[in-house]
Amino acid sequence: MIIETIALLAVIAFLLYKWTMTKANYFVDRNVKYDRFIPIFGSFLDIFLKRKSIIDMIVELHTKFSGEQIAGIFDNNNPAFMIRDPEIIKKITVKEFDHFTNHRSFSDPENGGLFSLSLFTMKSQKWKDMRSTLSPAFTGSKMRLMFDLIREVSDQARKFFLNHKDIENGVELDIKQFFTRFTNDVIASTAFGIKIDSLSDETNEFYQMGKTVTNFTALQNMKFLFVLNFKYLAKVLKIRLFEKKYDDYFIRLVTDAMKYRKENKIVRNDVINILMDAKGMSVSDNGAKPIREWTDEDLVAQCFLFFFAGFETVSTAMSFAAHELMANPDIQKRLIREIEEVKETLNGKPLSYEVLNGMKYLDAVVNETLRKWPGAPVIDRVCNEDYVVEDMDKKKVVIKKDEVVFIPVAGIHYDPEFYPNPKVFDPDRFFENTNDIHEFNYMPFGVGPRKCIANRFALMETKVILFNLLSDFSFRKGEKSVVPMVLDPNGFQIKAKHGCFVKLVQNNTPEHDKWMNL
């Protein structure tokens, strides 16, 4: 019995060794330099050991292969090509888009639920059809209409602090929590057509659902890793990315809203109205015809994606913008002066969409925030047909069907070749030197046809709340503020390790005038 057990263990060890060596030698004959393979963890061991954040890890990988246009890395157990050169990124994501149309498969509806039906995970023609269906929701004219809804929620948030009991002495808070509640209310209004005040009542069900769905705990990260690497086994074991009750909640919320609007002939300038057009349920007379027959789950999944991305990613960008303005008071003062000048020209009138888009320094501050703290530090594409890439040195690399390419967004954003002193927060990169910035070395929302469809919405939302808050307050260092920012190495989300604490101080005081003139 002992001999048989030893023999079995030896066979298992041999098979494991052979499997490991197959992975480790994957790039040997592929004409690229490559990273070492660590079983299960691939090139990202430091993330799982909580030694580095996802941004730090991507920057390190990008820097490790300095001078190379293409390198080989390992996404857990899966080999992938890392594309470092903007010109090759342009070829793959735009010029040869038909060869690289899709993202990786994370899951199927059985274990991915609504997320697996969203625009982000849809593939090929179905993705193109859904993209066409949703595009009308994010045109310039729709942005203007949704702007008023966002401004209303932003005014509500500003008044929350004006009426705060401690505002005379300044209010110190983890501003990420504030922005999360703000983005929650914006999404509720613009995507789901419901009015919520999460600042006054953070116990409401909509906000609590958002917190639960977007808070990736250690267990959630483990489930994500398991579903990504062992799709079939996850399906057999019925391991889901998100519990079914969350899917059921959003399905009920959206379908009930559609039914109510149709019965009561309600038309509202939001995402649900676009989805009603797609379903052929809209009471608006716009002549829209459904591109294809979408199921209720298909349509609800798009609201879920809008909620998932907007709740966490946008609020993170806002909080990092507030942090950088707090840590760089000269930049903040310059932005406040621009806001004051704009308010003078408005002469008591409310901020408009056109005026907001004309604020060049505010635009530069937001762009630099997204350059330094990109919400998606890495993006991917899957090759759907063998493709030969020729780098700048005429070296040819064959990317085979079903192989994955990674675009290290954070690595490029921190590359001194494109951004001198990349760790320095410098909005002038986007204010005076815009000729040095182009689409393929600045990719906070992705790139090419699969670029985030709601990028203009996210920018508008961020600018509106910064304008409103800095109209009445300034961001100052508090007792709990940590400068410079330290990222939490726990998992794949971007967040501050010690919270994002900022002190809000009122502007209409002698102390503020003194601070502005320092």
User: Which two three-digit tokens encode residue 269?
Assistant: 């300038």
Cis peptide before 484 (omega within 30 of 0): yes
User: What is the SS3 assignment for 474-516?
Assistant: EEECCCCCCCCCCECCCCCCCCECCCCEEEEEECCCHHHHHHH
pLDDT of 291 reads 64
Vertex 444: Cα angle to 133 and 489 (nearest 5): 120
Q: Encoding tokens for residue 454?
A: 């709601």
CATH number of the domain to which 289 belongs: 1.10.630.10
Confidence class of residue 34 from pLDDT cuts 50, 70 and 90? very high
Q: What is the mean pLDDT of residues 278-303?
A: 70
Cα distance between residue 83 and residue 89, in whole Å: 7
Closest of 330, 328, 409 to residue 370, by C-alpha = 409
Q: Is residue 212 part of a domain?
A: yes
Specify the pLDDT at position 430. Answer: 94
pLDDT at 427 over 90: yes
Q: What is the dihedral of CA 392, 397, 398, 402, to 10 degrees?
A: -90
The whole-number pLDDT of residue 19 equals 57
According to DSSP, the β-strands at 70-75 and 171-174 are unpaired
Based on the structure, what is the number of domains in the chain? 1
Take residue 290 and report the two structure tokens written for it. 């459904």
Measured between its terminal Cα atoms, the distance across the chain in Å is 82
Q: Is residue 15 part of a domain?
A: no
Residue position matching structure tokens 């690595």: 411
Q: How far apart are CA 276 and CA 171, in angstroms?
A: 43
Q: Which residue has the higher pLDDT, 1 or 250?
A: 250
Interatomic CA distance for residues 348 and 291, integer angstroms: 44
pLDDT tens sequence across 406-417: 999 999 999 999
Q: If you average pLDDT over every residue of the chain, what do you get? A: 86
Q: Is the dihedral of CA 361, 367, 368, 370 positive or negative?
A: positive
Structural domain includes residue 454: yes
Whether 502 contacts 478, CB under 8 Å: yes
Q: What is the pLDDT of residue 495?
A: 87
Name the β-bridge partners of 82. Answer: 71, 406
The CB density around residue 455, as the number of other CB atoms within 10 Å, is: 14
Give the model's pLDDT for residue 505: 93
Residues of the domain holding 432: 31-516
Place of tokens 């530090």: 377
Mean pLDDT of 357-386: 96
Q: Given pLDDT bands bounded at 50, 70 and 90, which one contains residue 18?
A: low
227 touches 111 (CB < 8 A): yes
Q: Find the range with the poorest average confidence among 150-164, 242-256, 271-285.
A: 271-285
Helices (H), 107-139: 109-112, 124-134
Q: Which residues contact 21 (CB under 8 A, 6 or more apart)?
A: none
Contact in structure between 355 and 349 (CB atoms under 8 Å): no
Q: How many CB atoms lie within 10 A of CB 515?
A: 16
Burial call 124-133: b when 16+ CB within 10 Å, e when fewer: eeebebbeeb
pLDDT score of 281: 64
Q: Does residue 7 belong to any structural domain of this protein?
A: no
Residue 432 lies in a domain: yes
> Does a structural domain hold residue 25?
no
Residue 17 in any domain: the answer is no
Within 13 Å, how many C-alpha atoms sit on residue 406's CB side? 24
The DSSP bridge pattern shows strands 78-83 and 404-407 to be parallel
Is 427 within 8 Å of 365 (Cβ atoms)? yes
pTM: 0.90
